Structure 1
């Protein structure tokens, strides 16, 4: 078969970049196509945190972990779903994945030891020092370029070329380029999910369809649709990652470490809405069911701790997104709520944190303990970050058909593939699940796509 390149990767986020690196490392020539003008996708917008069990970084820190423990943690959070085998696969591969990125490709990933984050019983998140996904993206781009892979931005793939049931290339078309075809021995779909497609959201996840979307604009679901048309069963399509508190109008996340250290969220009426420690994703629909905006209330200890550890939160503090409030009356004034209600809410929250009363929402973890004056307040809104459903893939990241066969020449990872965050809703999401399937399946897909092309 005539080909222009060995492997085509569609999408240059974390999944696509990792797939390109793996394919090039295996000796394949790679075309990495990105519809937007910049590589990164949702990975750029993330904290860059990749969970890994049994890594040498954990061992160096005295952390005892295993793929079995990680699998159990993720399934405990997600509940039963359609991609449980993928959970076990990624947990088994996770330590080698992180070590490969760090040791072989100079990607800055360090074990986060000061918190576990949602869904994990053990400290296993590995992230850039700044805990910002843009640094992970920059490192991955540099690694790809060292292997001779160019990120071709502004080149949106409009469809797959399929001949005799086999995927043999892609068709590229956009407003600013002349349409062309590119042929290859294998194609990797790494174009993320459908968070930016209101029609697909209304069909599959109506509960979050009207929420503000804070993911990458290029995540419009076409790659999921292409694989679906080729007979791949869709799985876990109702699952998604939400975020309960995006700073408004600033647009950056209010780090959930604030909640883990003892912050709470208040409604416009000055009342709490639930147990915030269920996680930033699980709490998003709780907030959206009550209000379009809320307020995160913390204290100076929490502000200074998170500011000192997380650059994005430090930036939010620097631009005035974290407002000081001397007392309950000042908090009420910022929110526009009744002072008596805010005073009662924060008083009851303090009693629960001190163990003097049970929490109305059964919250048991209060981090540093009761909030101390002065308070600090962040105005926020709930949002959708990315979808977690997609097409069925095998343990080689090949796109599977309903009859158990695979689509020849087609692989998928990241948001295109079925995620590991449960069947429906936002409460099955554990921290790092999105990057786990992106980076983890990306490496597997790239390696196997190169092998397919070589055959």
Structure 2
């Protein structure tokens, strides 16, 4: 687990609990809060516990974008999209490695989640309609005005407070009380070192992935072990470690969402719009080294393979204007991370790159059509003033996790659903396949939003075997 971490354990329940509740949710990220809102709406008694002093988690570190197909916002913007095409895009990017039923489920529920959050809870979503994300056949990313995850988590927390949902922060779950194939509650540690026990009839694990547990990262994804850890340090993998002890199935533990465009050494996420709109990445020699159209998650591994594990994103003022809708990009500019120059020679000096090589690389980009790496370029060429930023590859969050069925119930290794245990967000296996396909910015939030909504509404059932679990 690492220094200062307590290994999560599984035990039989105590004779009594300090507190008992109908539904307990571990984690106040996007998944946990959406599940809480859904459960409260369904008339359940809900308690959310959160390890941080205030809700944040991986959601707050992201751009806070949720992809959804067929939303009212898309229709108003004249965007023709549907869940079936969305599901097909996911499977194409993930090489068909996902459970089709789960992909269909999340694709079909995502639009409902966006419409519900907008109409019922007043979150001011809008469609990102001025650039494309890798793997999408339609513009379907939905975000709040600042395009920042911190704004999303604050908006969800405010909605939970308006709904009178209890959120207790500073409580890290350490012990899962489990016997007879059912969850009975948990024990959580307070900041003062004391422990509280909480009994529950149903438990939703919306806690985390395991990117902050370097031992698990080294075990399951050694190719990204040397990457910058850009996720939340609270992602220690309790759900995965509990799963091993209770016989729950896990899936695609080697899958992760990386990002190969993180400003270095500043650690600021630079939106992939800088690349999709015509920018490129070069190495220390000023040369391109891969097909950037594959995506930013794949970029993490490609960039880390270059000398010094770094690269340089090269774009122009036109693209920078598009990127400014993202709060992180504006912060990078304010801190002087983004270099701007009137010529490629000047930009090369600012970035410490060989001018002849950089100039030759940019001049050789096709005006349109396919280049030698297989990337298709549009008609708009890079033009002065030019921009550039030094970047590295990072691990943003893990994609693998507990296997869940179509009501977000955790599935055992024998293929049985655990009737009162649910998982979503970073605790559940996502929809990016088994590799680093990192389908899109917000893929984790897609799973979080859809599975959180489903888990919050799912009734408790008896433990019965299914040929198609859950």
Q: Decide: shared fold, TM above 0.5.
A: yes
TM-score normalised to structure 1 length: 0.93
Q: Distance in 1 between matches of 2:54 and 2:427?
A: 19
1:97 corresponds to 2:113: yes
Counterpart of 1:407 (choices 415, 418, 435) is: 418
1:427 to 431, 437, 440: 437
CA distance in 2, matches of 1:428, 1:30: 32
Aligned to 2:313: 296
Counterpart of 2:398 (choices 387, 391, 413) is: 387
- Give a deviation string over 1:393-432, Cα, whole Å, max 9, x none: 01110101122212232110011111100112x2352332
Q: Write out per-residue CA displacement over residues 119-170 of structure 1, whole angstroms, 9 at most, x where no aligned residue.
A: 2101111110111111111111011112211321111000211132210111
- Structure 1 stretch displaced more, 404-413 or 182-191: 404-413
Q: Does 1:418 align with 2:434?
A: no
Q: Is the CA contact 1:283–1:427 (under 8 Å) kept in the aligned structure 2?
A: no
Q: TM-score, normalised by structure 2?
A: 0.91
**In structure 2, distance between residues paired with 1:443 and 1:75:** 22
After superposing the two structures, state which structure 1 stretch, 329-338 or 214-223, moved more. 329-338
Aligned to 1:139: 155
Q: Which residue of the partner structure matches residue 374 of structure 2?
A: 362
Q: Match for residue 235 of structure 2? A: 219
After superposition, residues 39-438 of structure 1 pair within 5 angstroms as 39-174=55-190, 176-291=192-307, 292-307=309-324, 309-349=325-365, 352-354=366-368, 359-366=371-378, 369-424=380-435, 426-438=436-448
Given that 2:425 and 2:447 are in contact with CA atoms closer than 8 Å, whether structure 1 keeps it comes out as yes
From 451, 454, 458, the equivalent of 1:444 is 454
In 2, the alpha carbon distance for the partners of 1:311 and 1:194 equals 26
Check the 8 A contact 1:240/1:387 in 2, yes or no. Answer: yes
- Sort the Cα spacing of 1:361 and 1:57 in 2 relative to 1 into closer, same or farther, 3 A: same
Q: Distance in 2 between matches of 1:108 and 1:83?
A: 32
- Return the alpha-carbon distance in structure 2 between the equivalents of residues 159 and 153 of structure 1: 17
Instruction: For residue 306 of structure 1, report the CA deviation from its aligned partner.
Output: 2.2
Structure-2 change in CA distance of 1:249 and 1:143 (3 Å): same
SS in 1 for 2:269: coil
CA distance in 2 between counterparts of 1:405 and 1:222 reads: 21
Structure 1 CA distance for aligned equivalents of residues 232 and 374 of structure 2: 35
Distance of 2:328 and 2:226 partners within structure 1? 26
Distance of 2:97 and 2:368 partners within structure 1 = 38
Conserved 8 A contact 2:62-2:442: no
Provide runs of 4+ in structure 1 moved above 6 Å.
none
Q: CA RMSD in A?
A: 1.8
Contact 1:84 1:420 in 2 (8 A): no
1:273-332 deviation digits (Å, cap 9, x = unpaired): 21112111122111111142221111122122322x333212222221111123232233
Given that 2:190 and 2:196 are in contact with CA atoms closer than 8 Å, whether structure 1 keeps it comes out as: no
State how far apart, in whole Å, the 2-side matches of 1:434 and 1:66 are.
Answer: 20
Gaps of 5+ in 2: 1-15, 463-470
Q: Distance in 1 between matches of 2:48 and 2:210?
A: 20
Asked whether the 8 Å contact 1:167–1:187 carries over to 2, the reply is yes
